[in-house]
Structure 1
């Protein structure tokens, strides 16, 4: 019996350039960007956890609506964008929750929130990858979904059969969540439960807490429910707000009994003096919409699950310009390209698109 020689692969290391910064250079570095100001960062792995029945899913549905509309959440400005809510628990009750939200707010639930009801296994890497691509493709016919947030309700239902106290099993869950984040470019929020001793925080192996960028705890506080920021890698821990679950009637059942659900109602608030606004120029609005669609398609087409980070390489400025400038059809043809070039550069300066070394990538934006 002969022994096969091990396969040897020659790897040529790509030359990487490093730059040394002084403290005086820091003003040139990008500032921390938030999905929800001072609470949830624009990128990363997030978690909201609390005991069963405390209201954490109601809270996250309220968060999803606020982000999709770009309105303040408990007084904290949000960065507007699409949201995907993967509802693995209480799908039947979710319809009532949406109806209750609409009745309470007097308007339709934001169309920027999409829901997924199929079973989803986060620790099977193929599924986060497939779900991520489906999210980016949307339902076809140009119905793109460009998410800034994906919510998994709940971690336990997304990892059936896993031992949350096992380091290898928890590592698989974290890897799956990271794959979903890298595929979509969105922050991923896991809804979870506390351990047997709630004072010790999240249920499961400590590697989960270590991997998370932000953790929000939800628990009862006297007559109200309170969410508390218990971990923030780049912010201030300890922010908290009280809320109640207000009961709303949403019709009657076939037997004539009233159907009810709840909505989140803040009982105290924080008011920010900061204001986020979207691009005001008509040319900028047209070019931003076209650019984001082109960049999403570019990301989808170049995605490689073996090298997911490569998906985040942007599109060269001039290539993107050539794809979008004809959208300015109300501009005289000889001037369209110049107007589009000006709009693209201005959008990069304002932070609605990011440009590094002449490569452009999308960022969330608000109106």
Structure 2
């Protein structure tokens, strides 16, 4: 016999890639007697075939964590020529195609997610994928078919030798190797459905089984259009089955509807493949909702029929607009605030969030539904804390007691599982605070909280919108504000797919010019567009310095009344040129304004703050003039 292969180098390379490894038997040694008698019922030929794939150690402990370097060293010293296994479910999932037919099916399937990392085996190939913690895949072994090696499983590692003498070898695309395991794609529910379809096509009877995914992962409704091969037929069937279950249809109706849909596909799914998908969705639904049932035959008393209402019922149910901020923001609506980078749109969103959480007026506009606010931030968490501190310092509110909650990280709203985590986190805080639902949810920015998809793609933008609508806006009937960027070519519109604009109830453009910020309504679905509002950036000194002793500062927005500013300029110009003559009432208003400014500057000076930062809001001037009898 030739010199025995030393597998030590291979196992250390796999260990450095962060994989969990266990030693197997070896084809170059006789199987131990305990293995022949216990595992193989005394059959030495079976033992010779099975031993090179069987663990030498108790490996349950290594399903959740990799062995230590000391354990690897001990094993390599004890068995330098043995085979090794990679534990699946820990960092990787492997699709085991154990025949040439299975390999051809996977490699030629247009719907299957491609992976650049593969291993050639004795009879087929192993296809490597990254484990997704949000989509748990358990080990599923089916003889002579396609196996999915997930949690609770393992695969023979490359460098090992099969009992027939074949060496397991890597087959990789040039741009990736085993050290890039974290860059591998993940298996999707659609991939599992495709694999299950291949396995089901080898059975004559109706296939049943659990594909391991939930109908909830197909929240974007399939429109019922017919599909050709390669266009996601399994995915569409799963989506439709899940929707019909949630709508109260019976198994008989679901089967009839999907059979009719499938008949017009080109080509149709195999009957066993379609049955397997339906059965998997049903079984998963019952596992997730054990307190519910699914009727076998239709029950007209359970599922509501499609119905119409007479117009008088709609007229009687008409209600006035439920404002969050009077004339500006409406409850139970989805709105967008967009602008160029650095224009101050996040300052505006923070300012609005603080006003709603504290119940204070938003620059003269009444907050009609003050309440809890959830701010889903995607970036700049340190800067956000300084802006909040500056806001409470200038406005005189203690945000420590305000129901304002800021996320610790960004979200991924195109991913349903991640969107549900956000919704569940909000729900937990609602329960902890006595059931008070949010008035405002801010998503800042769309790009940071979109996810891995393309915001220019209609399907992915619809996913983003649907998840926000279903899990946030509709659930709490609150106002949802999305902060977004302008288009690359057109600064007068938000970038991204047009489906976003179509879904909005209101849209606002934020434009910065020097130190002035202007918010202009671009769309109001059910009300008149408000007049543009202008603000100035006011610098605020924070009560701490950096390690070099430099005073830290932030900014807040202060309302800037352009009409009033224009009047003052005209008055000043008129004084110089003698062209403008003031009436008694105008003179009194100017005197009142000067008095208020002086008082504000004196107050700032007494507090050790910069008196030049004094400002008077229009509502304050109006109240002072009314109190003085100057105006009604």
* SS at structure 1 position matched to 2:425: helix
Structure 1's 160 and 137: CA in aligned 2 closer, same or farther, altered over 3 A?
Answer: closer
Structure 1 residues 264-290: Cα deviation after superposition (integer angstroms, max 9, x where no partner) = 1001299xxxxxxxxxxxxxxxxxxxx
- Asked if structure 1 preserves the Cα contact closer than 8 Å seen for 2:328 and 2:530, the reply is no
Which of 500, 512, 526 is matched with 1:208 structurally?
Answer: 500
Structure 1 residues 175-213: Cα deviation after superposition (integer angstroms, max 9, x where no partner) = 222133234442221100010134440101111000111
- Please name the residue that 1:31 is paired with: 320
- Please name the residue that 2:311 is paired with: 21
- Please name the residue that 1:229 is paired with: 521
Match status 1:45 vs 2:334? yes
- Please name the residue that 2:383 is paired with: 93
Q: Distance in 1 between matches of 2:506 and 2:452?
A: 26
Displacement of 1:114 after TM fit? Answer: 0.9
Structure 1 residues 84-112: Cα deviation after superposition (integer angstroms, max 9, x where no partner) = 01111110111111111122122312511
Q: Which moved more, 1:77-86 or 1:105-114?
A: 105-114
- Asked if structure 2 preserves the Cα contact closer than 8 Å seen for 1:39 and 1:214, the reply is no
- Asked if structure 2 preserves the Cα contact closer than 8 Å seen for 1:135 and 1:184, the reply is no
- Please name the residue that 1:177 is paired with: 468
- Please name the residue that 2:546 is paired with: 253
Structure 1 residues 282-321: Cα deviation after superposition (integer angstroms, max 9, x where no partner) = xxxxxxxxxxxxxxxxxxxxxxxxxxxxxxxxxxxxxxxx
Which of 346, 350, 355 is matched with 1:61 structurally?
Answer: 350
- Asked if structure 2 preserves the Cα contact closer than 8 Å seen for 1:44 and 1:181, the reply is yes
Q: Distance in 2 between matches of 1:74 and 1:197?
A: 33
Q: Distance in 1 between matches of 2:436 and 2:414?
A: 23
Q: Distance in 2 between matches of 1:90 and 1:38?
A: 31
- Please name the residue that 1:241 is paired with: 533
**When the two structures are superposed, what TM-score results if normalisation uses the length of structure 1?**
0.67
* SS at structure 2 position matched to 1:208: helix
Q: Distance in 2 between matches of 1:222 and 1:58?
A: 15
**When the two structures are superposed, what TM-score results if normalisation uses the length of structure 2?**
0.40
Structure 1's 28 and 167: CA in aligned 2 closer, same or farther, altered over 3 A?
Answer: closer
- Asked if structure 2 preserves the Cα contact closer than 8 Å seen for 1:230 and 1:238, the reply is no
- Asked if structure 2 preserves the Cα contact closer than 8 Å seen for 1:67 and 1:80, the reply is yes
Structure 1's 164 and 143: CA in aligned 2 closer, same or farther, altered over 3 A?
Answer: same
Matches within 5 A, 1:355-366: none
Structure 1's 117 and 76: CA in aligned 2 closer, same or farther, altered over 3 A?
Answer: same
- Please name the residue that 1:265 is paired with: 558
Structure 1's 217 and 17: CA in aligned 2 closer, same or farther, altered over 3 A?
Answer: same
Q: Distance in 2 between matches of 1:190 and 1:230?
A: 14
Matches within 5 A, 1:242-321: 242-250=534-542, 251-268=544-561
Displacement of 1:126 after TM fit? Answer: 1.8
- Please name the residue that 1:108 is paired with: 398
Structure 1's 234 and 163: CA in aligned 2 closer, same or farther, altered over 3 A?
Answer: same
Q: Distance in 1 between matches of 2:334 and 2:346?
A: 17
Q: Which moved more, 1:195-204 or 1:35-44?
A: 195-204
Q: Distance in 2 between matches of 1:253 and 1:139?
A: 37
Which of 420, 441, 450 is matched with 1:150 structurally?
Answer: 441
* SS at structure 1 position matched to 2:521: strand
Q: Distance in 1 between matches of 2:326 and 2:305?
A: 37
Matches within 5 A, 1:70-81: 70-78=359-367, 79-81=369-371
- Please name the residue that 1:195 is paired with: 487
Displacement of 1:134 after TM fit? Answer: 1.7
Structure 1 residues 94-145: Cα deviation after superposition (integer angstroms, max 9, x where no partner) = 1111111122122312511111122311111122222122212218655655
Displacement of 1:169 after TM fit? Answer: 1.8
Displacement of 1:71 after TM fit? Answer: 2.4
- Asked if structure 1 preserves the Cα contact closer than 8 Å seen for 2:334 and 2:506, the reply is yes
Q: Structure 1: give runs of 5+ residues left out of the alignment.
A: 271-367
Q: Higher strand proportion, which one?
A: 1
Q: Distance in 1 between matches of 2:562 and 2:408?
A: 33
Structure 1 residues 131-179: Cα deviation after superposition (integer angstroms, max 9, x where no partner) = 1222122186556552011101111001243211111121121122213
Larger-Rg structure: 2
- Asked if structure 2 preserves the Cα contact closer than 8 Å seen for 1:214 and 1:231, the reply is yes
